[in-house]
Amino acid sequence: MARMMKVAIVDDEEDMRQSVSQWLALSGFDTEVYACAEDALKVIGPDWPGVVISDIRMPGMDGMAFLKRLMGLDSGLPVIMITGHGDVPMAVEAMRLGAMDFMEKPFNPDRMTELAKRATQSRRMTLDNRALRRDLAAGEQVIGKLIGTSLPMERLREDILDLGQADGHVLIDGETGTGKTLAAHALHAVGPRAGKKFTLVSCAAYTEEALSTKLFGPVDEGLPLVEEARGGTLVLEDVEALSGALQARLLTFINDQGTPAETRIIAICNTHGEGRTVEDALRPDLYFRLAALKITLPPLRQRGEDVLVLFTSMAEQFSDEYGCEAPEVTAQEAAQLLQAPWPGNVRQLINVAERAVLQNRRGTGSIASLLMADSEDTGPAAMTTEGKPLKEYVESFEKMLIDNTMRRHKGSIAAVMDELCLPRRTLNEKMAKYGLTRSDYT
């Protein structure tokens, strides 16, 4: 729906402002009138959805001072100045200060209508572009939460950016704890539906009857979820838990939407480790509609040094939350973190990082003991059989050590050189090798 634009008319002469307002209203504009600039400034601010037509000569705050105030509030606000005979030089100066255009008294109604039309179109485009940039910035923030520099994570972020722009429904697959719900948020945030509703429901959290009511209605209050999400994104977690009857209703809803779909569906599957696939759980026609586009999140054990990056990031967050120091990771503990199989993936690593911070606050335990406890809880399967060259472990630990030290000293090269006993040239070479930049820490 197009944004409704207003036209604020500011003039100390009542006959003039009423005349301008009446003519523009007859031309289809939504007008507001103000007898002085001070009154108008009580209403007009940044991102105000409209344009301003103002007389130059007014008692109190004149049109030039008013224009300067408006440009200070929002330099993209179109302002049209009304000038009297002989005020053309002043009008030219007003345009230098940011006014869009000017018209002389007695004004030509057709020219005024044309100017107002161009001004409102320009304002609408400016505000829409700002909204788009805010949505994209929000998308970048969500994407930024998908931490990691490994090749699988780089591919995942690229897939999300690509598929976010598409209209088709998406199936997100992956082991438990890999961040599938976060990926769904990112898909929504980077696409054209970013400013629309994002509605999420777990299909495994309700009985069939309760889920049917929640999704399709009738409900006692509000709207059923398929209506609440209309025009936006509907996320179905644990989609494999849908009964046959609900699968049929969902398929009907999808088919009734046509192409492109008004409401995008992101289905999240959690069948890994259960000896079956989502194809087994869903009827074929529904599966192929939901899996028009597909993303599979990589398990943590395949993400290499991302394990250390994630552990460091999570430990710092928890140390800020609990008001204590983050634990220092030894070379042996770094190797153990890298070698652990992480059956619970990122979710398990977050739990280990939090417990490590709590242990460090009490001055007891170690990261190794936490990993051992997790190994005992998950059984023999938790013991990894995958190995990597020693060089990779050493480089991962070295990068983590330099990164942590740079972070702790807020980018002070001298302090880092002193703590790590490294000459400047060696530190520079290693930072370049690992893609670390001083500006990221200052």
State the DSSP string of 39-86. Answer: HHHTT--TT-SEEEEEES--SSS-HHHHHHHHHHH-TT--EEEEE-TT
Q: Domains of the chain by range and CATH?
A: 6-130 (3.40.50.2300), 145-298 (3.40.50.300), 302-440 (no CATH)
β-sheet with 79-83: strand ranges across: 30-34, 6-10, 50-55, 79-83, 101-104
DSSP bridge pairs for 132: none
- Output Rg (C-alpha) for the chain, integer angstroms: 30
Longest dimension (CA), the chain: 92
On the 0-12 / 13-18 / 19+ scale of CB atoms within 10 A, 409 is middle
Closest to 250 measured CA to CA, from 315, 177, 201: 201
pLDDT by residue for the chain (442 residues), tens only, comes to 345 789 999 999 999 989 999 999 998 899 999 999 999 999 999 889 999 999 998 999 999 999 999 998 998 899 999 988 677 788 888 888 888 888 888 888 898 999 999 899 888 888 876 775 665 566 667 777 888 888 999 999 989 988 998 889 999 999 999 999 999 999 998 888 888 899 999 999 899 999 999 999 887 777 899 999 999 999 999 999 999 999 999 999 999 988 888 999 999 998 765 667 888 889 999 999 999 899 999 999 999 889 998 999 899 889 988 888 888 888 888 888 988 889 999 999 999 999 999 998 888 778 878 887 776 555 443 334 345 565 666 777 778 778 878 877 888 888 888 888 888 888 888 888 777 888 777 7
State the DSSP string of 192-235. Answer: TTTTS-EEEEETTSS-HHHHHHHHH---SSS--HHHHTTTSEEE
Give the separation between CA 271 and CA 424, rounded to whole angstroms.
Answer: 51
What DSSP character marks residue 402? H
Closest to 65 measured CA to CA, from 30, 90, 101, 32: 90
What DSSP character marks residue 35? S
State the DSSP string of 257-317. Answer: H-SS-SSEEEEE---TTTT--HHHHS-HHHHHHHTTEEEEPPPGGGSTTHHHHHHHHHHHH
Give the separation between CA 289 and CA 75, rounded to whole angstroms.
Answer: 47
Closest to 78 measured CA to CA, from 10, 18, 7: 7
Q: How far is CA 95 from the centre of its chain?
A: 37
